[in-house]
Every structure is written in C-alpha cells, then in structure tokens.
Amino acid sequence: MMHLRVISPADRTDEVLDLLTRDPAVANLVVHRGAAIDPAGDVVIGDVARESADEVVTALKRLGIASSGSIALDAVAVALSHRGAEAEHAAPGDGGDAVVWDEIEQRTGEESRLSVTFLLFLTIATIIAGIGVLLDQPILIVGAMVVGPEFGPLAAFCVGVVRRRPRVILRSVIALVVGFAVAVAVTILSTLGLDALGLIDRQMLLDPRPLTDFIWRPDALSWIVGFLAGVAGILSLTTAKSGALVGVLISVTTVPAAGNIAVAIAYGAPEEAWGSAGQLGINLAAIVTAGILTLAVQRWTGRRRPKAVTKAVTGP
C-alpha cells in the first residue's frame, strides 16, 4: 500500500472525493475541511494499492490538483486494515511489479543533478579504483564500485528517454561527462602525487595483474554483464529493492575503468588507457540500452494491465 495525501482547493474537493471513493483500490479515506494553509484548501488522505497508484495520481493531475494543490505519495511499511487488504485485492496485477512513474521521475531527477557531493563520491571512488588497479586488489575495486554514484544519472537518462524528458537527459549527460572528467583528472594528479611520495611507481602498472587486468581488456562478456546489470538496476529502482542495487553497483566496471584510465595516463601507458576507455564505453552503453528497454517493457505491460477497477478514475 501507499499513503496518499491530497491538498485540494475547497471547490474541487468533492470531485477529488468522488474520484477516490469510486475506486475500490483506494481505502481509509479521511477528509479535513479547511485544514490546509499553504496552499489553502482541504486535506484528503487515504491509502491506495501500489498497483493503482499511478492511475490515481494521473487522474488527480487531470483534475488540476498538482497545479492548484498538492499530491504526495509515501510507501507504507505496515498497514493492518481489512479495508486496505480489500483494496489491494481489488487492484489488478501485483504490487511488486507496479511502477509509479511520478515517483521514479522524481527520484531519478534528483540523481541526475551535478552536485559537489556527486563529484566527491565519484572522485573518491575513482582514486580508490586507481590504487586498487596498481595493487591488483579486487577488494579495493569492489569498494570503488560500491562508492561510485554513477548509476543515478544513468538511470535518470533512461527514464528521460522513455518519458521524453529532454532536460533530464541533458542533466544526466552533463553529470556523467563532467563527473568522470573531474574524477579522472583528480585521480591523475593523485597518482602523480603518490608516486612523488614513493608510495607507488610505474612498474606496478607494468607488472602482471591477473586479478584486475579485465578492467582494460573488454570482451563480449563485458557487454553481457553490463546489460544484465542495467536490467537489474532499473528493476531495483522501480521496485525500491535497494539491496539488489548494491549488487548491480558491484557488477559493472565503470568506476574501475575510469581509475585505470587515470593511472594509465599518469604513467604514459596509452594501450591500457584506450582499453579502459573501451571498457567504460561498453558498460555505459550496455547499462543505458538495458535500462531503456526495461523501462519500455514495464511501460508497455503497465498499459496492457487490466484497468476495469480503475475505470472510474481514468475514464472510459
């Protein structure tokens, strides 16, 4: 279930109530007349089955509530209600498969912005990856993968393409391009600085590194793994399965490739730099392709889902 809170202008509240009461997927309705101050109006709260949340929000937006009032949705961790159980049963499909598009757009929209925090996380992750490459330590590589925040803009890009949001696409591209450029540049400087301190040297890059040399030697499996990780990442995003997202971050060789690019440039190893750039490009392309296809399929299946119980909301 999801908790729904609507702030409605007083002259539209009856329409809102009519819309919600006729939908069997909505339960536990409460109305507070004149309770809202900014924006002024009435407050309507209730619970809606996740399977029908997207249709309900869409119908409320058609009434103009999003512009003249407010619509808010929150996930409900525990809901003990017979009427709520009936609402979930009345809603078609399964809540675990349902996508609330406004929720996804808002979540990914925040992730697509280039911020100081994003740059710091990506730079730290890339530096860790660069050190991991030189030490041939998979543990450091995995740590860099988890710290890296790059999946956020990638997911936002996919949502922007499927939902036709040019601004989100542009913000995501800027965040990725600027983010990786800054991270690689700082990692080059940090590599040179650590070399000057005698903590690392060029020979570490030239020595055999059997545990991490896959980073700069992309192959067909690189695409397959990136594609599968992209599918899993989008599914974890749309179903709010954060645990699965951690697994996705550990699966893709994006930040490690950026770290190896920086180290290879610092030590003048163009073959490794180009190989790592290829690995980075393959993974980014695979994730984006998989993400767009996954969202497109979810959108198609959502439209194909029976809507008999929400006919009162969406109209004939």
Across 109-135, average pLDDT: 91
Least confident range from 102-106, 223-227, 304-308: namely 304-308
DSSP secondary structure code for residue 70 in this structure? E
More confident residue, 182 or 84: 182
CA distance between the termini of the chain: 25
Task: Say whether pLDDT at 269 is over 70.
Answer: yes
The reply to whether omega before 39 is within 30° of 0 (cis) is: yes
pLDDT for 137 beyond 70:
yes
To the nearest whole percent, how much of the chain has pLDDT over 90? 52
The tokens for 160 are: 């922007």
pLDDT, tens digit (0-9, with 9 covering 90-100), for 51-79:
888 889 989 999 999 899 999 988 887 77
DSSP string, 25-58: TEEEEEEEEEEEETTEEEEEEEEE-HHHHHHHHH
Taking CA atoms, 259 is separated from 3, 127, 148, 218, 239, in Å, by 43, 6, 11, 15, 31
Tens digit of each residue's pLDDT (9 = 90 or more) over 141-158? 988 988 888 888 999 999
* pLDDT, mean over the chain: 86
Strands 40-48, 70-75: pairing is unpaired
d(CA 86, CA 52): 13
What is the per-residue pLDDT across 237-259, written as a single tens digit (0 to 9) for each? 887 665 556 656 666 789 999 99
Alpha helices by DSSP H, listed for the chain, are 13-21, 50-62, 65-68, 82-90, 101-111, 116-135, 138-147, 151-163, 166-196, 202-206, 220-238, 242-251, 255-266, 270-304, 311-314
Q: Are 117 and 152 in contact (CB under 8 A)?
A: no
Q: What is the pLDDT of residue 177?
A: 95
Cα separation, 312 vs 316, whole angstroms: 8
Flag whether pLDDT at 303 surpasses 60.
Answer: yes
Question: Average of pLDDT values for 159-164?
Answer: 91
In the predicted model, is pLDDT for residue 132 greater than 50? yes
pTM: 0.81
* pLDDT value of residue 111: 75
